[in-house]
Amino acid sequence: MTKQRALILEELRKVRTHPTAADVYEAVRRCMPRISLGTVYRNLDLLSREGLVRRIDLGTGKKRYDAFVEDHSHIRCSSCGRVDDVPLHRADGLAAMYHGVERTTGYEVQSCEIDFVGLCPECRKDSAAASRERSSRKNDLAGPEKTRK
Ligand SMILES: [Zn+2]
Ligand SMILES: [Zn+2]
């Protein structure tokens, strides 16, 4: 493995934030200032073909990379775009799903990719605060309207 590729893999293994190629580039550049974004892309591509990193596409138009290749799913925040891991094991209800899929399709299921979309804990806090603010503002508006009747 080239030094560049080893460094890219090392940087990826440090984080569980599922960085984009540009994020990886920023991190790697700190140790290897002359590396180019193209080199990072090329090496990420090679690493994912070798099965050392997972390339994940969550429909956001940007591919993200994950050095944790064991079976797991992802959940993406629809508000801030953060991506977290969802540990899924065949045992938790998935076995039944695999079985059902096998029965209906005749395939032998080897793996499945389920991605979830939701609001992360931080954004949930923000949206709760925002809706509290909205409802208190609504009460202010309701005041003069009532007096008009
Ligand atoms: Zn969020
Ligand atoms: Zn992951």
Domain of 53, CATH number, reads: 1.10.10.10
CA of 33 to the centre of ligand 1 (A): 31
Residues 56 and 7 in one domain: yes
Q: How far is the CA of 29 from the centre of ligand 1 (A)?
A: 27
Within this chain, do residues 33 and 96 fall inside the same structural domain, yes or no?
no
Q: Both 36 and 91 in a single domain?
A: no
Q: Say whether both 56 and 78 belong to one domain.
A: no
pTM above 0.85, yes or no: no
61 and 76 inside one domain: no
Domain that holds residue 128: 121-149
The reply to whether 36 and 2 lie within a common domain is yes
Q: Indicate whether 103 and 146 sit together in one domain.
A: no
Q: How far is the CA of 60 from the centre of ligand 1 (A)?
A: 14
- 149, 98: one domain: no
- pLDDT computed for residue 140 by the predictor: 61
Q: How far apart are CA 4 and CA 15, in angstroms?
A: 18
Cβ atoms within 10 Å, residue 4: 16
Give pLDDT, residue 149: 47
Ligand nearest to the CA of 117: 1
What 3-state DSSP class applies to 66?
strand
What separation in Å is there between the alpha carbon of 141 and the centre of ligand 2? Answer: 46
Which pLDDT does position 120 carry in this prediction?
Answer: 96
| 63 and 10 fall within a common domain | yes
Ligand 2 center–CA 48 separation, angstroms: 13
Quote the pLDDT of residue 142.
Answer: 53
Indicate whether 2 and 49 sit together in one domain.
yes
Give the chain's residues under pLDDT 50. Answer: 146-149
End-to-end CA distance of the chain: 78
- One domain, residues 43 and 13: yes
Token pair belonging to 83: 């991506």
Q: Look at strands 115-118 and 73-77 and give their pairing.
A: parallel
Question: How many domains does the chain contain in total?
Answer: 3
Give me ligand 2 centre to Cα 144, in Å: 52
